[in-house]
Amino acid sequence: MKATIVTIGDEILIGQIVDTNSGYIAKALDKIGVQTHEMLSISDDKQHILNTFASLQNKVDLVLITGGLGPTKDDITKHTFCEYFEDTLVVNQEVLAHVTAIIEGFYKRPITQLNRDQALVPSKCEVLFNKMGTAPGMWMKKENTVYISLPGVPYEMKYIVENEIIPKVVKEYKRPYIIHKTILTYGQGESMIAERIENWENNLPEYIKLAYLPNPGRVRLRLTARGENKEILENAIQENIASLTKIIGDIIVGFDEEDTIEVVLGRLLSKQGKTISTAESCTGGKIAQMFTSVAGSSQYFRGSVVSYATDTKVSVLGVSQSTIDEHSVVSASVAKEMVLGIKKLMKTDYAIATTGNAGPSKGNTDAEIGTVFIALATPAEIIVEEFNFGQPREKVIDRTANKALEMLQKEIMKSTFN
């Protein structure tokens, strides 16, 4: 099965909001074996919408549209559906009762005609009930293509996808199985990994595809298997992961999308009963944000000091002014004193400190733009490493944060196996 996802709204096309709906829908469809053929964003223009519908007719099995279902005049999706399907709008009593209950029961105000109009749907459509809002979804079929209209509000869209669309597609369509497994690696770039696993990759079964998904400091390797027999696919995936682990097990830190390095570190720290803190200058709190993005991180993450200004390094972390004067603020010596200061301040087992010149100008240091020092304090020692992550500024910050967590992961793993 193939699907096309269409988002309707000028606010997306001008960059006023970011389309997150398409990614969510694509993931939900993929889990049940429906391949997303393409994603489109189009304007709030009736003729543009009609032309898009016509161009997709009989080319894909499902067309999922989000947006344009609100109560105002610029929400034209329902009217466009009627024109495309040669239909008229009628009041759906179940939807009207639901809308009334929300407006009068929850918001405690009289229902207006605009609110009542939310219950208008094409007479030929199958209503997809929206428990989370007032705009119902719509399911209509023309020849070999089903057109599904969804509200643009993300939590309303998600409710309908999870509770109405996915169960209906599973029930009514025969679909192949799609199995994904993602391997998370740290410490080596895409090209180096490709060289190491070239023979393994060349010997993958034809029904298993490998994709490289690089980010600063890390590369995800996604295996995708498609076929009719779920058990065969799962066994083949596991066998190939086992053989891959023998080749690059030294850089594998986790599996699947959820196993980011911050999740892996959280598990390791929790298991050992250890704590971590951070003192960040050039990363501006990004490492702390990565740690705290994980639910339950308060168990091991004690806190952070974003010592962006030089005097904050001195007054809060206890960095010596003479050290700064002698070595400059971007130096191994300052990074070392920062990490010792935060470890003592937060009373943690591990600590990370970053200081560097992310650019675009040198500021109050002579260090080259892109130069970064990362200090790591473990229960046994202090490690300081120098890097040059180049430019632009965003790349320097991302790579510094990822490298710091990679250094921490390696040291924790050392203590685990020693």
Tokens of 107: 């918001």
Tokens of 101: 């209950």
Does residue 367 carry a pLDDT above 80? Answer: no
Output the pTM of the full model.
0.62
The total number of residues written for the chain in this structure: 418
Measure the CA–CA gap between 237 and 1, rounded to whole angstroms.
Answer: 22
Question: Cβ distance 245 to 196 under 8 Å?
Answer: no
Closest alpha carbon to 305 in 343, 336, 270, 273: 343
Q: Tokens 């490289």 belong to which residue?
A: 212
360: cis peptide before it, omega within 30°?
yes
Measure the CA–CA gap between 154 and 59, rounded to whole angstroms.
Answer: 27
- CB under 8 Å to 281, separation ≥6 — which residues? 306, 307, 308, 313, 329, 338, 353, 354, 355, 356
| Most confident of the following: 105-109, 332-336, 409-413 | 332-336
Q: pLDDT, tens digit, for every residue of 4-29?
A: 999 998 888 888 888 999 999 999 99
Could you give the angle at which helices 393-417 and 261-272 cross, rounded to 10 degrees? 30
Q: pLDDT, tens digit, for every residue of 146-192?
A: 999 999 999 999 999 999 999 999 999 988 888 889 998 887 889 99
| pLDDT (0 to 100) of residue 368 | 86
Does residue 56 carry a pLDDT above 80? Answer: yes
Tokens of 207: 């029904």
| pLDDT (0 to 100) of residue 222 | 93
pLDDT above 90 as % of the chain? 72
Q: pLDDT, tens digit, for every residue of 229-255?
A: 989 999 999 999 999 999 999 888 778
Domains of the chain: 2-172 (3.40.980.10), 189-255 (3.30.70), 261-417 (3.90.950.20)
Q: pLDDT, tens digit, for every residue of 338-362?
A: 999 999 999 999 999 999 998 776 6
Question: Cβ distance 126 to 138 under 8 Å?
Answer: yes
| Per-residue confidence band for 106, with pLDDT thresholds at 50, 70 and 90 | confident
The number of beta carbons lying within 10 Å of the beta carbon of residue 113 is: 7
Instruction: Report phi then psi at 186, rounded to 5.
Output: -135, 145
